[in-house]
Amino acid sequence: MKTNYEIRYAAHPEDSKSYDTTRIRRDFLIEKIFVPNEVNMVYSMYDRMVVGGALPVGEVLTLEAIDPLKAPFFLTRREMGIYNVGGPGIVKAGDAEFELDYKEALYLGSGDREVTFESKDAAHPAKFYFNSLTAHRNYPDRKVTKADAVVAEMGSLEGSNHRNINKMLVNQVLPTCQLQMGMTELAPGSVWNTMPAHVHSRRMEAYFYFEIPEDHAICHFMGEVGETRHVWMKGDQAVLSPEWSIHSAAATHNYTFIWGMGGENLDYGDQDFSLITDLK
């Protein structure tokens, strides 16, 4: 196995206005998440969130404590949320073992223990996408399925944004320190997410897009309300959203995305909305 990581530094919104396409993609887009028998991650200076993925194909992959953590184990001072977006898989955390099927999630609290990822069938490997944030105390590990989620049905087909927001690793379902994660599924014929756009200056966010056919693409919108930018993305890619940035998207096909937030509060509804007509 191989572990790869990179550090992404935070940007001032005034500075980001001058970024060209290459710089925007370099600083915010995470293109390589799943590579066979690798664990890939980005250590972001936005609330020190780590965004990454593991794709075990005939091997057991270990979640290694990368150097920026300066810790004996990855979870020594961190909590983690994991979603399986591939075939059936197993996550082991210390003496505990969790089986995760497609679109099932796992919360791991902080504490010194080894974490490993493996697939049940190498021909249909599991794909483990994860977000991790610093944690000031330990909360119990717990598997969460869509049956456990707080589901909000929003939007309409007429508005091209009929969707189900599955709030899964959130404080209405289980206790966490900072981490809030969920999964939004768009209905066929709908392409817009998170519209009207909003920001929440108390929290940053990361979006991971999947269930996008190979010959289709998604356009993620970011930036300030009066100075937006866009990032064209493919499936199985993620994008960082600073606390000052909107985060919305439209695609050429319906899709699913996993959102993860970290910051100073756990209130999912703590958002500052903008009118659609104010976007520039």
* Binding-site residue positions: 198, 200, 205, 247
Q: Residue 171's Cα: distance from chain center in Å?
A: 17
Which three-class secondary structure state does DSSP give residue 26?
Answer: helix
Considering only CA atoms, which of 112, 278, 261 is closest in space to residue 184? 261
Distance between CA 153 and CA 257 in Å, rounded?
15
Structure tokens at 193: 């997410």
The answer to whether 196 touches 218, Cβ cutoff 8 Å, is: no
The answer to whether 196 touches 274, Cβ cutoff 8 Å, is: yes
Which three-class secondary structure state does DSSP give residue 6?
Answer: strand
38-44 and 2-8 strand pairing: parallel
Residue ranges of the binding site for Zn(2+): 198, 200, 205, 247
Contact partners, residue 224, CB within 8 Å, separation at least 6: 13, 244, 245, 246
The answer to whether 91 touches 53, Cβ cutoff 8 Å, is: no
Sequential DSSP letters for 105-149:
EEEE-SSS--EEEEES-TTS---EEEEEEE-SS----EEE-GGGS
Phi, psi of 69, deg, nearest 5: -75, -25
